[in-house]
Amino acid sequence: MSKMNVIEPTRLDLGTKFRFRCHKGIKCFTKCCSNIDIMLTPYDIIRMKNKLGLSSEEFLEKYTFSTVDEESSHPYAYLKMDKDEKKSCPFVKAPDGCTIYTDRPVSCRYYPIGQATLKKQKDDSVVHEEFYFFVKEKHCLGYNEDTEWTVESWRDDQEANLYDDMNRGWKSILMRRNLPGQKELDPNKQEQFYIASYDLDRFRRYVFDSKFLDVFDINTEENEKIKSDEIALMKFGFRYLKYLFMMEKSLKIKPEAIGTKK
């Protein structure tokens, strides 16, 4: 996030109204696309790599860098900005703006709204509550425009709801934190998190070219689906990570593999 961002503390709901419009004729056009840290989600990677005709490995190598979160020890992928003075987004080219606009990341879609998730205890279960807030930058003139939205209509218009639905299983994993006195994730689990989250081509090879299917009980229908459908593979990766981090019993081990696993 840019250092010039001002996050308003007021929590918004889906019915909150605001005025905003961004277009080529506005003086601040594309200024919000530089000097900013954009953490990418698994579905962001799929849409962007496919738009560019790249494998997940090629995209990650060329357009991202990773950093490890201190509280969870998860390695996250961030969009790599150009090395110019403005730290410009590599996909934003004047005067037309974003060259991958139809497949831009979810955080770009939400702007000038921010979205966050809180983990709450409700009865005997944990629920994740999503909420919204305004992100206002000094240079942004979009708030002076006349087009009126609600948070809900803005999400629909920007397809942010689709991205949220696709990433929801992953976002529940993001709520995981290292327990007091617990060691951070070891390098192997960090690598597994990164591969299952971002590098789907490599994750597919891990599932089908290793002994993975000798250990985990995956039915034939799902097996065929995750082999050919990368959205299904992405969501399977979320289940695998929840199993790996002992968050849920989301996968079953074959009885004959239990002794080997131990």
Contact present, 117 and 164 (Cβ < 8 Å): no
- Rounded alpha-carbon distances, angstroms, from residue 31 to 37, 100, 187, 217: 14, 16, 38, 50
Residue 108: Cβ-neighbour burial (10 angstroms; 0-12, 13-18, 19+): buried
**What percentage of residues in the chain have a pLDDT greater than 90?**
76
Q: What is the pLDDT of residue 1?
A: 42
Is the model's pLDDT at 145 over the cut of 70?
yes
Q: What is the pLDDT of residue 104?
A: 97
Q: How confident is the model at residue 10 (pLDDT cuts 50, 70, 90)?
A: confident
**What are 74-128's pLDDT values in tens digits?**
999 999 999 999 899 999 987 789 999 999 999 999 999 999 887 766 666 666 7
List the chain domain ranges. Answer: 5-174, 187-261
* CA atoms of 88 and 94, how far apart (whole Å): 11
Is the model's pLDDT at 181 over the cut of 80?
no
Q: What torsion do the CA atoms of 71, 82, 79, 225 make, to the nearest 10 degrees?
A: -150
Is the model's pLDDT at 207 over the cut of 60?
yes
Length of the chain: 262
Q: What is the pLDDT of residue 258?
A: 76
- Rounded alpha-carbon distances, angstroms, from residue 111 to 62, 79, 115, 254: 25, 16, 9, 46
Residue 101 has what DSSP assignment? G
Across 117-146, average pLDDT = 82
Contact present, 113 and 134 (Cβ < 8 Å): yes
Residue 107, sorted as left (phi over 0), alpha (psi -120 to 50) or beta, turns out to be alpha
Mean pLDDT of the chain: 90
Q: How confident is the model at residue 4 (pLDDT cuts 50, 70, 90)?
A: very low
Is the model's pLDDT at 254 over the cut of 60?
yes
**C-alpha 251 chain-centroid distance:** 23
Is the model's pLDDT at 3 over the cut of 60?
no
Contacts of 36 (CB under 8 A, 6+ apart): 1, 2, 81, 87, 89
* CA atoms of 97 and 34, how far apart (whole Å): 12
**What are 221-253's pLDDT values in tens digits?**
999 999 999 999 999 999 999 999 999 999 999
* CA atoms of 93 and 24, how far apart (whole Å): 12
Q: What is the pLDDT of residue 125?
A: 64
